[in-house]
Amino acid sequence: MNATVTRKTVAFTRNAVNVFFHILTRCNLNCRHCYINPAQHGTQILDIDTIRTWLSVFVSDNRPVNLILLGGEPTLHPDLAPAIKMARRLGYASITVDTNGYLFHNFLDRVTPADIDYLSFSLDGPTAEINDPIRGNGSFAACTAGIGQAVDRGFAASLIYTVSAANINQLEQMPPLLADLGISRFFIQVLGIRGPGADGPDALTQVSRSRWNRVVPPVAEAVARSGITVTYPKVFLEPGEPFKCAGNVAGNYFIFPNGRVYRCPLCEDYPIHALSFENNRLIEQPAINETDLFRLDIPEGCVMNKLVQPGNLAYGADGTPLYRIACCLLKEEIQVCDSPSA
Ligand code: SF4
Ligand code: SF4
């Protein structure tokens, strides 16, 4: 058998629904790139009855519904474990919990690997020296300890690495750490210019197109060759590659504790959400909202990218964009498969 690397762009589909549910915004950390914006997303800790009611709105008999539970730090919610079990009973096809690794409320004692498809840990460097200036002192040690406990108990663990100018040079040091930690999926994420800290003195910066293309795809392939599935955002479209806005062609819902429900992550700093929970009913919001932006067809590709992070665009002398920016939700996935020898 030979190992073959398969690489695919994960197509948007309406045949599945992805529910990104922020059950609180409180967190024990204060990461420099945090996109949580309490002024826009609320400070409530949703009670378990509200969580059940909102979860039940997205359940469907016709298509799989995937749930990603987030915060803030979701393990700070005292009822995270019952919420997960409730989602299973409601019929969610997969359940992922995104965590910073501190695993509060004895979380791992209150759930089993059968309850959760993936525990997804956020770590932004291969060492404390790189990670902690981004995510906070002690966060590397806490996160890697949390991963160790989870893997020892049989949970499937994935790891999210948000690439910025502060840590792109160390991305290539990740493969041995991922193997040591027992990670089964690796998500490389791109820094978004959003959240309250986005234009502050400590703000992180995005990397150029050439640097991204030079570093990220080769590291992704190296990690995939070690048997770990890797996903990373497309970010920069090649000439001729089609542009699609997930807001028009996919079933993604980003829910916040104040009831706002967005279809696009780049819109989350603004009161332009497409939907809102009002008295526990999901209500479409009047125009103008993000849905009206999704319909705009511009030569730069993603309209929200042009509005909120235009620094990653470049233009020729005649004013034509040199490339288009993909939807921030468009991902490449790389896996290694065994193929029969020739
Ligand atoms: S762990 Fe997540 S929610 Fe908490 S500060 Fe960091 S990015 Fe924000
Ligand atoms: S990131 Fe851009 S392309 Fe993707 S959903 Fe938002 S507006 Fe649409």
> For the chain, what is the mean pLDDT?
96
Q: What is the 3-state secondary structure (H, E, C) of the chain?
A: CEEEEEEEEECCCCCCEEEEEECECCCCCCCCCCCCCHHHHCCCECCHHHHHHHHHHHCCCCCCEEEEEECCCHHHCCCHHHHHHHHHHHCCCEEEEEECCCCCCCHHHHCCCCCCCEEEEECCCCCHHHHHHHHCCCHHHHHHHHHHHHHHCCCCEEEEEEECCCCHHHHHHHHHHHHHHCCCEEEEEECCCCCCCCCCCCCCCCCCHHHHHHHHHHHHHHHHHCCCEEEEECCEECCCCCCCCHHHHCEEEEECCCCEEECCHHHCCCCCCCEEEECCEEEECCCCCHHHHHCCCECCECHHHHHHCHHHCCECCCCCECCEECCCCCEEEEEEEEECCC
* pLDDT for the residue 60: 87
The answer, yes or no, to whether residue 82 has pLDDT greater than 90, is yes
pLDDT of 336 reads: 84
Atom of ligand 1 nearest to the CA of 135: 6
Give nearest CA residue, ligand 2 atom 6: 264
Which domain does 77 fall in, by range? 2-339
Q: Looking at the 3D structure of the chain, how many domains does it have?
A: 1
Rounded average pLDDT over 273-297: 97
- Alpha carbons 41 and 264: distance in angstroms, whole number: 14
- Altogether, the residues listed in the chain come to a count of 342
- For ligand 2, the distance from its centroid to the CA atom of residue 328, given in whole angstroms, is 6
Residue 90 in this model has a pLDDT that exceeds 70: yes
CATH of the domain at 190: 3.20.20.70
Contact between residue 123 and residue 140 where contact means Cβ atoms under 8 Å apart: yes
Closest CA to 190 of 175, 209, 172: 209
- Give strand pairing partners of 232: 332
Indicate which atom in ligand 2 lies nearest the CA of residue 328.
Answer: 1
- Express each pLDDT in 229-275 by its tens digit: 999 999 999 999 999 999 999 999 999 999 999 999 999 999 999 99
pLDDT digits (tens, 9 = 90+) for 174-219: 999 999 999 999 999 999 999 998 988 899 999 999 999 999 999 9
Q: What is the pLDDT, as a whole number, of residue 216?
A: 97
User: Token pair for residue 238?
Assistant: 């090649």
Q: Which ligand is nearest to the CA of 99?
A: 1
User: How far is residue 298 from each of residues 167, 245, 263, measured CA to CA in Å?
Assistant: 32, 11, 19
Protein residue closest via CA to atom 3 of ligand 1:
72
304 lines ligand 2 (CB under 6 A): yes
How far, in Å, is the centroid of ligand 2 from the Cα of 157? Answer: 28
- Distance from Cα 97 to the centre of ligand 2, integer Å: 24
Question: Measured between alpha carbons, how far is 131 from 137 in angstroms, rounded to an integer?
Answer: 9
User: At residue 301, does pLDDT exceed 60?
Assistant: yes
- CB of 67 sitting under 6 A from ligand 2: no
Tokens standing for residue 267? 């819109």
Which ligand 2 atom sits closest to the C-alpha of 326?
3
Averaged pLDDT for residues 302-318: 96
How far apart CA 238 and CA 36 sit, in angstroms, is 31
Give pLDDT, residue 199.
85
Q: What is the pLDDT of residue 342?
A: 45
Determine whether the shortest distance from the Cβ of 95 to ligand 1 is under 6 A. no
Cβ neighbours of residue 168 under 8 Å, at least 6 residues apart? 207, 211, 212, 215, 216
CB contact at 8 A, 280 and 255: no
For a ligand 2 pocket test, name from 295, 296, 304, 331 the mutation site with the most ligand atoms within 8 angstroms of its C-beta: 304
Ligand 2 atom closest to Cα of residue 301: 3
Name the phi and psi angles at 281, rounded to 5.
-115, 140
Contact 284, 261 (CB under 8 A): no
Is the pLDDT at 1 greater than 80? The verdict is: no
Residue 64 and residue 264: Cα distance in Å, rounded? Answer: 20
| Ligand 1 proximity of 134 Cβ (cutoff 6 Å) | no
Question: How would residue 2 be classed by pLDDT, with cut points 50, 70 and 90?
Answer: low
Name the residue at shortest CA distance from atom 4 of ligand 2. Answer: 327
Q: Which atom of ligand 1 is nearest to the CA of 139?
A: 1
Torsion angles phi and psi, residue 248, rounded to 5: -95, -25
Whether 71 has a pLDDT exceeding 60, the answer reads yes
Amino acid at 277: F
Q: What percentage of the chain carries pLDDT values higher than 90?
A: 93
Q: Which residues contact 180 (CB under 8 A, 6 or more apart)?
A: none
pLDDT at residue 11 in the model: 87
Task: Give the pLDDT confidence of 139-160 residue by residue, as tens digits.
Answer: 999 999 999 999 999 999 999 9
Measure CA of the first residue to CA of the last residue in the chain; give whole Å: 9
